[in-house]
A and B are shown apart, each in its own frame.
Chain A
Amino acid sequence: MALLQISEPGGKPIQPVRKRAVGIDLGTTNSLVAARCGGSVECLPDDQGECLLSSIVYYRKGKEPLVGSAAKSEMIANPGDTIASVKRLLGKSLSEIKAERQFIPYDFNEGRDDQTPAIRTADGDKDPVIISSDILKCLVRRAEDCMQGALDGAVITVPAYFDDAQRQQTRDAARLAGLKVLRLLNEPTAAAVAYGLDSQDQGNVIVFDLGGGTFDVSLLSLQKGIFEVLATGGDTNLGGDDFDYLLADWIRNSASSEIDYDADASAHTSLLHQANQAKHRLSESPVVEVEHQGQSLQIDNIRFAQLCESLLDRTLLICTRVLRDAGKKIEDIDNIVLVGGATRMPIIRSAVAEFFGKESMTEIDPDKVVALGAGIQADILIGNKPADSFLLLDVNPLSLGIETMGELVEKIIPRNTTIPVIKAQEFTTFKDGQTAMSIHVVQGERELVSDCRSLARFELKGIPPMVAGAAKIRVEFQVDADGLLSVSARELSKGMSAEIVVKPSFGLNADTIEQMLSSSQMNAKNDMKIRALKEAQLEARQLIDATINAIDADSSLLNEPEKKSIAAIIEKLNLAITQDEQIKIHALTEQLNRISGDFAARRMDLHVSEALRGESIEKLEKS
C-alpha cells in the first residue's frame, strides 16, 4: 500500500522531524558531548555552563552514582569507590592492568569474564563497561535536556590505537547507556574532521594530542575524503600534569622554603595548585609572578621551556618515531592539528612549529576539537542536512550520468533536479556476444567523459551472450534525501545485477561547481560538434563491424566486384573515421548502408529459405 504521513486534522502532512545525533569524546580525564544546535555544531554545557565533564564516577550504596566534579571531590575521602581514568581499564584483563600500573586504589573482583574485571564498590561490583556507561549516561542526559528529546544516535571517539576488545567494550558501554552507536571514530580523525580537513582531496595530517595525563601522536593520510591512520605513537604517562610537577619543583627550589612537602600533603596539594595556575597564566602572558611563602618569584616562557626541555624532547622523539613508522618525512606533512588542553602552552606550540617547520592549526579549542568533529560526523551520519551547506541543497547541483561508447556522457539525472529522485534508462551491448559491461558514473555538464568528474566505476557481469543491441540493461540512478547516489545496473532477461553507492557532493565546493558549469556553457557549441562526430564515428564503426561479420558468414552471396567495392568503401570510411571528418563519415556510412542493404536482403532470403527447407506446410501451420 501507499505510505502515509500523519496530517494535521484536515490539513497537509507535516515534514519529518530533524534527528538528534551527538558526538561524544569519552576521554581518560574529561568527556564532552557535542551536537548541532541551530546552525553550528557546539559542545553542550551542563547547567553550570561547563562543557568538560570529569571522567570520574563515585558509587554510593543504593543511590545513583555521581559523575564529574561532584565525584572528583570524593576522590580523597572515598578513593576505593571513586573511579577515575576508567578508559585505561577498558578491554583489559586484570593481569594486564596490574602489569601496566604499580598502584591502583581499587579492589578488583573476578568480573563476568577474563577480559572484564570488576571493581568492588559500595554499590556492588562495577566493571569498566558499566563505569563508562555511567559517564555516557550523564552526557546523554545533558544532551537530551539541551535538545529536548531522545537521542537517535551517537558517534563516540576512541584512540586510534584501541584494539577490537577495547572498541567492543566502548560499544557495549554505549548500548548500556541506551545509545545507538552510529560509528566509533578515531580521535585524531575526529580532530581533523573538526578542522574540515576531510573536504580536501589528499594530504598528510599530524594530530598532536597532549591531554592531562596521556600523549598521543597520529599520522593520518587523507585520500578522497577518507582518513587512514598510518602510524600512531604516544606515552600513556606523559601529559599536562607533568609540566605542573616540574613547575612545582622549580617554585619549591626557588622559594627555598623549609616545608617538607613530602610529609605535608596539604602543602603539597596547594603547591601543585599554584604551579598549575602559573602554567595557565603563562599561556596568556609571557612573564608571570608567583607568590610563594611570602616570596615573589618571576618566570617567563623561555625559562619554563628550559625547565621542561626533557618533556618537550620526549614528545618530539615520539613524533620522529611516528614519522618513521609511517615512512614519511617532515616535508610530507601538510597540516598539524593540536588536541588536548596542554597544547595551549606556548612552549608546546613553538616546539611543535619548530620541529615540523610550520604553524599548527589552533583555532578550535583543543579540549573540544575531538568532540566537535564527532558531532559533525554524527550529524551527517544520522542524515541531517546542514542548512548552510550549498552542496546538500535539495537539488542535484550537477548532472549525473554514465559513460557510453565513444567516451560520451549519457546524462541520467539532469542538474537542478530536486532530490530525492529515482531515474532509470535502458542501455544495450555494443558488441556481439558481449557478456560484461563497465558502468562508469560521471558528474558534470560536458559531453565528453574526460571533461567530467569521475565518481565511480563498477562492472555488470553475466550478461547472456547475444547479438549487439539485443541485451537490455536497465541502469537506475537513485539520489536519496541525504544526497547519496546509488547506481544499479540490471540485465533484464537473466536478472543479473550490480550496484554501487557514492556521495556525489564529496569534495565539491561552490567554486568547483561554478567552474564546471561555466566551462560547459563556454564549450557548449564545441561539445555539441564533438558529440555529433563521436556519434557518427560510432555508427560507422558499428556498421563496418556488422558488414565484415556478414561477409565472413556468407561471402558466397557476393561476387568479386561487389566484394571489392564494399572493401573500398570500408577502407575510405575507416580513413574518414581516423581523420575525424564528420561529413565524409556521414556520406560513406550512407553509401555503405545502401550497398550492404542489398547484400543483407539476399542474406535474409537465403536464411529464411534455409530455415523453411524440409518443413511441410502443415507442420508450419501447426506451429
Chain B
Amino acid sequence: MAISVSASAAKHVSEQLVARGHGLGIRVGVTTTGCSGMAYVLEFADKLEVGDQVFEDQGIKIIVDPKSLVYIDGTEMDFVKQGINEGFEFKNPNVKGECGCGESFSV
C-alpha cells in the first residue's frame, strides 16, 4: 500500500507548504461527488485523524484516510503543465472510468 509523488509534484508541494508556513503535509483522498462517482480531494494537512495512513515520498508526507486508500492505492501524483493551466494530476491504477470533464472517476 503506497501513494507516491513525482519529483516535480514534490517540489511544488514543498514550495507551497513553505509559502503557507505550516502543515504536516498533504491529505489525499476521495469523496463521493461529481458525475462519475468519485472525485479527488487534495488539501494541506494540519493534523492526523484516527486511522490515517502516512506515506513519505521524496520528503513529502502524504496522508490518506483508510476509506480513501482502497480507491487510490498505488496512485502517483504528478505536477503537469497543460497549455495555460498547471496543477496536480493523479495517475490512479484503480480507475475504470472517468467522466467527460475528468472531474470524477469510478473504480
Contacts and interface: CB of A to CB of B under 8 A. Distances in A.
B83 interface: yes
Contacts of B42: 4-7
Interface stretch (B12-20, B50-58, B65-73): B12-20
B27 A9 contact: yes
Interface in A244-264: none
A6 B82 contact: no
Given A8-B43, A17-B19, A149-B18, A3 B103 contact: no
Contacts of B27: 9
A481 interface: yes
Contact of A4 (B20, B84, B88, B105): B88
Contact of B89 (A3, A7, A9, A148): A3
A420 interface: yes
**A interface: dominant SS:** loop
Residue with the highest number of chain A CB atoms closer than 10 Å, among B82, B84, B98:
B84
Residue with the highest number of chain B CB atoms closer than 10 Å, among A3, A420, A480:
A3
Contacts of A478: 83-84
A420 B45 CA distance: 30
A4 B90 CA distance: 9
A370 B90 CA distance: 44
B16 A2 contact: no
B59 interface: no
Nearest to B90: A1
A422 interface: yes
**B interface: dominant SS:** strand
B15 A1 contact: no
Contact of B43 (A1, A3, A9): A9
A1 B98 contact: yes
Nearest to B79: A3
Given A6-B26, A6-B43, A7-B42, A1 B87 contact: no
A9 B47 CA distance: 10
A99 interface: no
Residue with the highest number of chain A CB atoms closer than 10 Å, among B43, B89, B90, B103:
B43
B98 A4 contact: no
Contacts of A148: 18
A148 B15 CA distance: 11
Nearest to B14: A150
Contacts of A479: 84
Interface of B: 13, 15-16, 18-20, 26-27, 40-46, 80, 82-90, 98, 101-103, 105
Interface of A: 1-10, 14, 16-17, 148-150, 420-422, 478-481
30 contacts: A1-B89, A2-B102, A3-B80, A3-B82, A3-B85, A3-B86, A3-B89, A5-B88, A6-B13, A6-B16, A6-B26, A6-B88, A7-B42, A7-B43, A7-B44, A8-B43, A9-B45, A9-B46, A10-B43, A14-B19, A16-B16, A17-B16, A17-B18, A148-B18, A149-B15, A149-B18, A150-B15, A420-B84, A422-B83, A480-B84
